[in-house]
Amino acid sequence: MAKEEGGKKQMPIYEFRCSQCGHEFEDLVSWRDIEEGKVECPNCGSKDVRRRLSLFATRSSTGSRENKSSCGPVG
């Protein structure tokens, strides 16, 4: 969902994988564009793409960065 900050709309970065060619890519898109099938693979042009689960970074109270996931370790 796009949100406004300082008069500018900000959209989250989503990760996708193309079902046709397997290309993995990131895109700045609104949730509406995802729901309406407007996301297109930059490699082959297919709209048959799937959103991937993304990890995110957080800061602990000591200021260090850690990857956090509710699904456990990745890799």
Per-residue pLDDT of 28-65, as tens digits, reads 999 899 999 999 999 999 999 999 987 666 676 665 55
Instruction: Look at the block and give the residue holding tokens 């407007």.
Output: 38
Note the pLDDT of residue 11. 72
CATH architecture of the domain formed by 10-55: Single Sheet (2.20)
Q: What angle do CA 53, 24, 28 make, to 5 degrees?
A: 70
Domain residues of the chain, as ranges?
A: 10-55
Report residue 39 as tokens: 């996301």
Closest CA to 30 of 57, 4, 11: 11
- Is 52:22 a contact under the CB 8 Å cutoff? no
Give the mean model confidence (pLDDT) for residues 16-35. 94
With beta carbons less than 8 A apart as the criterion, state whether 8 and 43 touch. no
Q: What is the pTM of this model?
A: 0.60
Quick one: pLDDT band at residue 69, thresholds 50, 70, 90? Answer: very low
